[in-house]
Structure 1
């Protein structure tokens, strides 16, 4: 890793600035967007019921939403419909949750079909990220579901919802996912990425995107000079 790769400003450009709490209000989402613009993050990630959102004119900020969140136990048709509606309401990216139970049962064809249903509903260039809940899976299961995401033409595999009691992202899981997708897909580390050092470790392990709710705390004052922020 070089210093340029892990500067706070460069880390910011890998962050999906996230607000998925059930009690989130429209005012909370407006504040999230303002903070994302201020920090220079890549996107905001919100619940689909919060769409549409207003991005300030000229802001270089994508909008991501979740589908089948957080359990993944929705039917494929429901996930696909949720994703399609979100894109119609302005989402650029969709983070879908697989059926973790199907993965635990070794039904990897079912997992692939689930992902494919959503992919078919939201064709490229919409970005599809696949949340695999890596902390709840064995290494072999992580490999198999990551391969299913490749085979179903997704764009990213993502570690975690951040809501599962098993935990969030680990360097080991990120590295295993990155090795499996072999550059064909991006890897998003999400869940428990709270400090700049956490972010740097995940990037070193192979993460190409980060899911972070506490982005300002993670980035700290280091982004001020790089982003031109004046609101700290």
Structure 2
């Protein structure tokens, strides 16, 4: 059975994102101002930009942690997360230690996530697993670790890893692994309407987009089926 989605409904799944190292405070404010016009769910910006931006009413503020490599110490990640939430972040997207996961050290990956979970308190925690760099078994293991540690979402990608970004296959596997217990965020390389809708169809209930306006421009004001 096909479901219908409107451009406005898709927009409400979007974390409107600017994480480029060269982004200025003016760039970030422009992103926030655009967010209100586009009707997105949140903006996602670097931690040091949180205090510089005026976020429009009705738009949440997300940030990143241990980004983009995930190779920070657990203490550093937790400290960064605490500061971000104290500064006003509603959601934190943390990067796991991909190397530890690939080495089979699930215990340390889980502990890393759990430490950030404790640090963010009631804020939403999304766990970035870099799915394009993982095997299917590793994707499943990463999702299970995130769930065990109390995360709210699993997320495909930082968008900075050379292995690539989100794929329909990875999103589908992540959704199958976490069921309806966690959210699934597709992020990285989603540049048009059809790809965004395909991610939602595969099970994503949040999308990380840097080119949000262009993606939404590909949809119609009326219903779109998928």
**TM-score interval, smaller chain:** over 0.9
1:43 alignment partner in structure 2: 42
Residue 151 (structure 1) aligned with residue 148 (structure 2): yes
Q: Runs of 4+ in structure 1 displaced over 4 angstroms?
A: 221-226
Residues 101-141 of structure 1, C-alpha deviations (whole Å, 9 max, x = no match):
001101111110000000011112x0000000000000000
Task: Using the TM superposition, give the Cα deviation of residue 224 of structure 1 relative to its aligned residue in structure 2, in angstroms.
Answer: 6.7
- The equivalent position to 1:89 in structure 2, one of 87, 90, 99, is 87
Q: Secondary structure at 2:77's aligned position in 1?
A: helix
2:27 alignment partner in structure 1: 28
Q: Secondary structure at 2:216's aligned position in 1?
A: helix
Q: Secondary structure at 2:197's aligned position in 1?
A: helix
Task: Using the TM superposition, give the Cα deviation of residue 145 of structure 1 relative to its aligned residue in structure 2, in angstroms.
Answer: 0.6
- The equivalent position to 1:179 in structure 2, one of 176, 179, 184, is 176
Q: CA RMSD in A?
A: 1.4
2:99 alignment partner in structure 1: 101
2:3 alignment partner in structure 1: 2
Between the aligned partners of 1:222 and 1:148, the Cα distance in structure 2 is 36
Between the aligned partners of 2:95 and 2:219, the Cα distance in structure 1 is 33
C-alpha spacing 1:76/1:222, structure 2 compared with 1 (3 Å): same
Residues 139-181 of structure 1, C-alpha deviations (whole Å, 9 max, x = no match):
0000001000000000000000000000000011001000111
Q: Is the 8 A contact 2:41 2:59 kept in 1?
A: yes
2:72 alignment partner in structure 1: 74
TM-score (norm 2): 0.95
Instruction: Give structure 1 stretches of 5+ with no counterpart.
Output: 227-232
2:196 alignment partner in structure 1: 199
Q: Is the 8 A contact 2:50 2:84 kept in 1?
A: yes
Q: Is the 8 A contact 2:168 2:202 kept in 1?
A: yes
Instruction: Give structure 2 stretches of 5+ with no counterpart.
Output: none
- The equivalent position to 2:158 in structure 1, one of 157, 161, 171, is 161
Alignment size in residue pairs: 221
TM-score (norm 1): 0.92
Between the aligned partners of 1:180 and 1:109, the Cα distance in structure 2 is 18
